[in-house]
Amino acid sequence: MSGSALIDRFDRHVRYLRLSVTDRCNLRCTYCMAEDMTFLPKSKVLSLEEMAFVSKAFVALGVEKIRLTGGEPLVRNGIVDLANSLSQLDGLRELVMTSNGVLLDKFADDLVAAGVSRINISIDSLQPDRFKSLTRFGSLDDVLRGIDAANAAGFKKIKLNAVILKGVNDDEVLNLARFAVDHGLDISYIEEMPLGEISSHLRSETEVTSGSIREQLAADFSLVESSFNDPAAGPSRYLSVANSDTKVGFISPMSNNFCASCNRVRVTAEGLLLLCLGNEHSLDLKQIVRDNPGDLDGLKQAIVDSMERKPERHYFDPNDITITRHMSATGG
Ligand code: SAM
Ligand code: SF4
């Protein structure tokens, strides 16, 4: 593995950038967004050229993996062109994406051709009515078609993401795993994080820990420690489902603080470099880029300097929304 110039005060090496290409979305998942959301005006969003320039700086500093996310990355005009230019950056090992899958039917082939090697698809329910109410108006069929299209397009790996909420979809843990195994996909279960005000439920009442999900899975599946070890995976923990191609991941920001192995930063659609998902420490890259057009070295230096301010860890409390930015505006 090559060296990273991005090393923080706790000797964590940043090799992974999550780039939010838009704060907009074609769904309104209840745990992610409030019913009424105000989105950024176009002038405040980084252009595709600015996103490519910022990415170039990160890769020159040792970032090896970029995830395109949002909001919903596939609603951003020009997303395939952006993927095309990022995948050609010298030193980038992997360009990946997280999508809700709704538009994948249309985009899967082009994304693979543009160099997106792996994709995470979010799906929290396999029941059409429940899917609709969780996403406020989404159609499960669209996502299932998207998953089929992704399978046919030849991504190296497809992973499902499911946020599990008590009393909402915690009875689908096993069904989602079965679906993943039957389709040869990986799956990650994610604990809900208190990011942004939401209107549908109290997060303190819907908490489900990764530990209890693992217990549910153990009733039907034999989970074995995975030899899979992606150096860029950072805090995700994976187990293999015996006699299958499926790995199960647990993303446990609430029950098991994983900050010591954090290897990532995020850039929002607005061009804010977020040094931690659960803190407000940030650097306005948009201003730097717009004030100093073409100055790659200046931008790189500002990013290197920002590592001094990367917080040691997050402190999430489901009863207390200290972070007002929603996940959709953060880049999940
Ligand atoms: N729209 C795309 C999608 O849904 O996959 C990409 C962006 S979304 C913000 C990325 C991931 O964050 C999704 O898997 C979603 O379920 C998850 N997410 C959103 N809000 C969350 C929250 N409050 N806590 C935990 N995960 C959340
Ligand atoms: Fe949109 Fe993804 Fe948030 Fe759902 S989780 S509202 S699909 S950004």
Q: For 78-126, what is each residue's pLDDT tens digit?
A: 999 999 999 999 999 999 999 999 999 999 999 999 999 999 999 999 9
The minimum-distance atom of ligand 2 relative to the CA of 28 is 6
Exposure letters 315-327 (e unless 16+ CB within 10 A, then b): ebebeeeebebbb
Using the predicted structure, report yes or no on whether residue 205 has a pLDDT greater than 90. no
pLDDT in tens, 43-56: 999 999 999 999 99
Binding site membership of 189 for ligand 1 (Cβ less than 6 Å):
no
d(CA 16, CA 21): 16
The pair of three-digit structure tokens given for residue 41, joined into one six-digit string: 């005006």
Instruction: Ligand 2 pocket test: pick from 165, 198, 327 the residue with the most ligand atoms within 8 Å of its Cβ.
Output: 327
Using the predicted structure, report yes or no on whether residue 1 has a pLDDT greater than 50. no
Count CB-CB contacts under 10 A for residue 260.
11
The minimum-distance atom of ligand 2 relative to the CA of 98 is 2
- Its pTM stands at 0.94
Binding site membership of 71 for ligand 2 (Cβ less than 6 Å):
yes
CA of 278 to the centre of ligand 1 (A): 14
Least confident segment among 29-43, 72-86, 200-214, 316-330? 316-330
pLDDT band at 286 (very low <50, low <70, confident <90, very high): very high
Binding site membership of 192 for ligand 2 (Cβ less than 6 Å):
no
The minimum-distance atom of ligand 1 relative to the CA of 72 is 1
Using the predicted structure, report yes or no on whether residue 189 has a pLDDT greater than 70. yes
State which amino acid sits at residue 228: F
pLDDT band at 173 (very low <50, low <70, confident <90, very high): very high
Binding site membership of 328 for ligand 2 (Cβ less than 6 Å):
yes
Binding site membership of 119 for ligand 2 (Cβ less than 6 Å):
no
pLDDT in tens, 126-169: 999 999 999 999 999 999 999 999 999 999 999 999 999 999 99
pLDDT at 235: 56
Counting Cβ atoms within 10 Å, is residue 43 exposed (0-12), middle (13-18) or buried (19+)?
A: exposed
Q: pLDDT exceeding 70 applies to what percent of the chain? A: 93
Print the SS3 string covering 135-184.
HCCCCHHHHHHHHHHHHHHCCCEEEEEEECCCCCCHHHHHHHHHHHHHCC
CA of 95 to the centre of ligand 2 (A): 20
Nearest ligand for residue 73 CA: 1
Handedness of CA 144, 150, 152, 155 (dihedral sign): negative
E strand or H helix at 290: helix 285-291
Handedness of CA 275, 276, 278, 279 (dihedral sign): negative
The domains of the chain, with CATH numbers, are 16-330 (3.20.20.70)
The pair of three-digit structure tokens given for residue 329, joined into one six-digit string: 């505006």
Residue 113: what are its φ and ψ, rounded to 5°? -65, -30
Binding site membership of 21 for ligand 2 (Cβ less than 6 Å):
no
> Which strands form 264-267's sheet, in the order they lie side by side?
223-225, 237-241, 247-251, 186-190, 157-163, 118-122, 94-99, 65-69, 16-20, 264-267, 272-274, 282-284
The minimum-distance atom of ligand 1 relative to the CA of 332 is 10
Residue 160: what are its φ and ψ, rounded to 5°? -90, 145
Q: Ligand 1, atom 2: nearest CA belongs to which residue?
A: 99
